[in-house]
A and B are shown apart, each in its own frame.
Chain A
Amino acid sequence: MALESDLVSADTVEATEFPQLAAKYRVQGVPRTVVNETIHFEGALPEGRLVAELKKKLAAA
């Protein structure tokens, strides 16, 4: 998604190397995806579901 849109940036963060960040976003299980600091997803989501969920949560935010 980062590739396709100039507005999107994507970080893959190795949780054990950055424990303060993991603590900040309360990462307990991985993968955990955090979008714009406040939207969280647990587990691996297939593309379709991720987009559907993002649409809902962004509209609600």
Chain B
Amino acid sequence: MSLLQDKDREQVQQLFAGLSNPVKLVMFTQELDCEFCAQTRELVEEVASLSDTITAEVYNFALDKEKAQEYGVEKIPAVAVVGDKDYGIRFYGIPSGYEFSSLLESIMDVSAQDSGLSETTSTFLASLKDPLHIQVFVTPT
């Protein structure tokens, strides 16, 4: 069962046509006790299928504990958007509705290796001395 409609798939494919560098969608899931895991996994695999530049790596949260630790994942479903390196970009919970476009944008940015941020922001980021952990809470639309 496809989670994306045909015209959505086409649009996403077009969006991904210009992707330059490979992106990995590293996903952590499990079979039981996780309401949206199966759907998230399907969505991730579907998105990855829309471009040769995107690959999906699916790990079992319970069995692949070391991997989960490596990515700092403590809750699932979790998707890490990884490019030439891990930038610390994570999506927790099913990225549906508005969050789906956020996911697509992350993929685009990671592939381009360009944050698209302003100079003021870049200067601010360069001035940071300590880690900054940003969590944005959203609801499915």
CA distance A18 to B140 in the complex (A): 12
Assess whether B124 is in contact with A51, with CB atoms less than 8 Å apart: yes
CA distance A34 to B72 in the complex (A): 18
Closest B residue to A44 by CB, please name it.
B136
CA distance A8 to B139 in the complex (A): 23
Choose among A10, A27, A32 the residue that contacts B88 (Cβ–Cβ < 8 A): A10
Closest B residue to A22 by CB, please name it.
B137
Contacts of B125 in A (CB 8 A): 1, 4-5, 7-8
Interface presence of B92 (CB below 8 A): yes
Contacts of B91 in A (CB 8 A): 11-12
Closest A residue to B130 by CB, please name it.
A7
Q: Mark A7-23, 1 if CB is under 8 A from B, else 0.
A: 11111111111100110
A contact residues, range: 20 to 34
Assess whether B137 is in contact with A4, with CB atoms less than 8 Å apart: no
Assess whether B137 is in contact with A8, with CB atoms less than 8 Å apart: no
104-141 of chain B: CB within 8 A of chain A? 109-110, 113-115, 117-118, 120-122, 124-126, 128-140
Assess whether B93 is in contact with A14, with CB atoms less than 8 Å apart: yes
Q: Which residues of B are at the interface with A, using a C-beta cutoff of 8 A?
A: 35-36, 72, 75, 87-95, 99, 102, 109-110, 113-115, 117-118, 120-122, 124-126, 128-140
Q: A5-B125, A55-B124 are in contact. List 16 more A-B contacts (CB 8 A).
A: A2-B87, A4-B125, A5-B128, A9-B88, A10-B89, A10-B134, A12-B102, A14-B36, A14-B92, A14-B93, A14-B138, A15-B139, A16-B140, A18-B93, A30-B137, A34-B136
